[in-house]
């Protein structure tokens, strides 16, 4: 089984790399710049690719012929909370976060679509922050909007790729202790990844384009 993971040099992406190597997959781990912890993982089943999902350039490195799982994990938060307040957020910040968090996964799927096997899964890492139903605190304009748009993009992908037997879902990883949260989350990377991997394993049992949290519950959006 082949899996490709973006944003794999740290945080949840690195957690997915470790999880799927342990599960016996061949793993294509993508990094934007620094290889981080990947550099020290010299394993025959691990293939490194340089891929900045915020740019149109093709990835550097050999891609697998076929893919059984694609995890779009790369993402940015954008300016810290105050920088995304109504009176502070800039058009530049809105566009920068949208480019990486929403257009990034779209670029990756456009590039890899022809390699997805029948029965393959595409998992796009969104966030509950992108759920309108869950938004009671406002603010965080750039991140919320980009993650909401990613759920909508994932839904269209799910409909469009159903005929090819490809299942597409959006995931909410929980509030996880990574660099993005300044390690202030409620759960660790291993718990989040193990939960999301369970959801991914039964992606076909959800409505196409469903938005699912790491604990298997569906997120209303």
Ligand X SMILES: NC(=O)c1ccc[n+]([C@@H]2O[C@H](COP(=O)([O-])OP(=O)(O)OC[C@H]3O[C@@H](n4cnc5c(N)ncnc54)[C@H](OP(=O)(O)O)[C@@H]3O)[C@@H](O)[C@H]2O)c1
Which residues of the chain form contacts with ligand X (CB under 6 A)? 6-7, 9-13, 32-34, 52-54, 73-76, 100, 125, 127, 173, 175-176, 178-181, 185
In the bound state with ligand X, the residue whose beta carbon lies nearer, of 117 and 149, is 149
Two structure tokens written together for 127: 């966030």
In the bound state with ligand X, the residue whose beta carbon lies nearer, of 54 and 139, is 54
Minimum Å gap between C-beta 163 and ligand X is 28
Report the relative pairing of strands 26-31 and 2-5 from DSSP bridges. parallel
In the bound state with ligand X, the residue whose beta carbon lies nearer, of 66 and 181, is 181
Minimum Å gap between C-beta 182 and ligand X is 10
- DSSP output for 103-159: IHHHHHHHHHGGGEEEEEEEEEE--GGG-STT-SS---HHHHHHHHHHHHHHHHHHH
**By the 8 A CB rule, do 49 and 60 touch?**
yes
In the bound state with ligand X, the residue whose beta carbon lies nearer, of 73 and 158, is 73
In the bound state with ligand X, the residue whose beta carbon lies nearer, of 7 and 208, is 7
**By the 8 A CB rule, do 188 and 154 touch?**
no
Minimum Å gap between C-beta 173 and ligand X is 5
SS3 197: helix
Minimum Å gap between C-beta 10 and ligand X is 5
Q: Which residues pair with 187 in a beta bridge?
A: 176
Minimum Å gap between C-beta 139 and ligand X is 16
The vertex-53 CA angle with 137 and 133, nearest 5°, equals 20
């Amino acid at each position: 089984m082949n899996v490709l993971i973006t944003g794999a040099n740290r945080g949840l992406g690195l957690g997915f790399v470790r999880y799927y190597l342990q599960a016996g997959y061949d793993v294509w781990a993508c990094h934007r710049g620094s290889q981080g912890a990947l550099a020290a993982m010299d394993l025959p089943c691990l293939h490194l690719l340089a891929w900045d999902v915020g740019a149109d350039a093709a990835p550097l490195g050999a891609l697998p012929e076929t893919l059984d799982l694609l995890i779009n994990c790369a993402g940015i938060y954008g300016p810290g909370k105050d920088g995304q307040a109504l009176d502070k957020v800039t058009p530049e910040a809105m566009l920068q976060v949208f480019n990486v968090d929403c257009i990034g996964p779209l670029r990756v799927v456009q590039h890899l679509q022809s390699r997805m096997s029948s029965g393959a899964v595409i998992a796009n890492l969104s966030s509950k922050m992108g759920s309108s139903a869950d938004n009671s605190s406002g603010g965080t304009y750039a991140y919320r909007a980009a993650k909401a748009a990613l759920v909508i993009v994932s839904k269209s992908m799910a409909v469009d790729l159903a005929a090819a037997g490809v299942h597409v879902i959006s995931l909410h990883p929980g509030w996880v202790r990574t660099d993005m949260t300044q390690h202030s989350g409620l759960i660790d990377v291993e718990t989040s990844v193990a939960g999301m991997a369970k959801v991914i394993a039964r992606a076909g049992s959800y409505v196409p384009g469903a938005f699912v949290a790491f604990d298997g519950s569906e997120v209303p959006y």
